[in-house]
Structure formats: structure tokens, C-alpha cells
């Protein structure tokens, strides 16, 4: 494996970093006490990756088992206890634990504890996941089965159950 071709061709570097303070308001807040923070969207990273902080309320649940065909997904637990499904079994992830799921890998996550939990979710490459986070609760409860299927297909989400 080698380094990819350069994207920056200048000689002196540039001022282009972005900073997001920890107290920035969540981009999406759900009724179950969960909040999603868009730390670095695919659009902001030129499609390289998408990084999101997902804060779950107590007993916040999570998505059922699924896989993606075009993106990998990684989970890094910041605080609390997050149930992580690795395709074979559920693992109780705690602060500092990490799970990588390549394309096609079965996975799920949930917070079944009485305490809140928080984790980072990294998608590579940086797909446009924002609409997914913004509408997934509505889709699951209010949309027709046909519209749900189109939404999940558009967002590279394939359910196994």
C-alpha cells in the first residue's frame, strides 16, 4: 500500500482547517433523547470521509442489523455502554472501544442501558449521510413501504430482517 496521489499541489501550504467547539448545538435531535453532531460531512471533506458524534439517551435503542455496499462504517465509543453487533454477536462497547465494519459487513448498535452513551461514527468514503440522520425516524414511522425502500436504497442501507 502506498500514499494516494496528492490533492494539494501548492508549495507553501494554506490556511484551511475548520474547528467545531464541543458545545456546538447538535444538528439533529430526536425524540428519544438522541442527538447527532455533524463533525465533518462528506461534502466538507471532499468525499474522503464523514465523521459524526452520536449521543444516545438512556434506553435509546438503535438500528436493526443491516449492511452497506459502498461505505465502511467505524464506531468509537466515547462514553457509556453501547451494544455493538459485529455480525456474529453483540459486544458491550465502553469508552475507548472501537469497531470497524467494511462494506458488506453486518452490523447494528443500540443503547439498552439506563445511562446515556456517546460514540463517533466514521463513514468512508464520505457519503451524504445527513439526510439519513435527519429523516430516518420519520421514514420508519410515517412513510409507505415503497417510499421507505427507496429511501434506504438511496442511502446504501440494506436490512437483513
The CATH number for 42's domain is: 2.60.120.10
94 domain-assigned: yes
pLDDT value for 56: 95
35 domain-assigned: yes
Low-confidence ranges of the chain (pLDDT < 50): none
Q: How many domains does the chain have?
A: 1
3 domain-assigned: no
22 domain-assigned: no
135 domain-assigned: yes
DSSP secondary structure of the chain: --PPPPS---SS---------TTSPPSEE-TTS-EEEEEE-TTTTTTS-EEEEEEE-TT-B---SEE-SS-EEEEEEEESEEEEE-SS-EEEEETT-EEEE-TT--BEEEB-SSS-EEEEEEEES----HHHHHHHHHHHHHS-HHHHHHHHHHTT-EE--
pLDDT value for 72: 98
pLDDT value for 32: 79
- The percentage of the chain sitting over the pLDDT mark of 90, rounded to a whole number, equals 90
1 domain-assigned: no
pTM exceeds 0.75:
yes
pLDDT value for 141: 85
66 domain-assigned: yes
pLDDT value for 161: 75
21 domain-assigned: no
Domain assignment of residue 105, given as a range: 28-159
Amino acid at each position: 500500500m502506498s500514499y494516494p496521489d496528492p490533492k494539494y499541489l501548492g508549495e507553501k501550504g494554506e490556511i484551511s482547517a475548520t474547528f467545531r467547539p464541543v458545545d456546538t448545538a447538535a444538528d439533529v435531535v430526536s425524540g428519544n433523547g438522541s442527538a447527532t453532531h455533524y463533525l465533518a460531512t462528506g461534502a466538507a471533506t471532499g468525499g474522503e470521509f464523514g465523521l459524526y458524534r452520536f449521543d444516545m439517551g438512556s434506553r435509546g435503542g438503535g438500528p436493526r442489523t443491516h449492511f452497506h455496499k459502498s461505505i465502511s462504517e467505524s464506531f468509537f465509543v466515547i462514553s457509556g455502554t453501547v451494544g455493538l453487533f459485529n455480525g456474529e454477536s453483540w459486544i458491550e462497547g465502553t469508552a475507548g472501544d472501537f469497531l470497524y465494519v467494511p462494506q458488506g459487513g453486518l452490523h447494528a448498535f443500540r443503547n439498552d442501558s439506563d445511562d446515556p452513551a456517546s460514540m463517533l461514527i466514521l463513514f468512508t468514503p464520505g457519503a451524504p449521510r445527513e439526510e439519513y440522520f435527519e429523516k430516518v425516524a420519520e421514514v420508519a414511522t410515517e412513510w409507505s413501504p415503497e417510499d421507505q425502500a427507496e429511501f434506504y436504497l438511496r442511502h446504501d442501507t440494506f436490512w437483513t430482517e
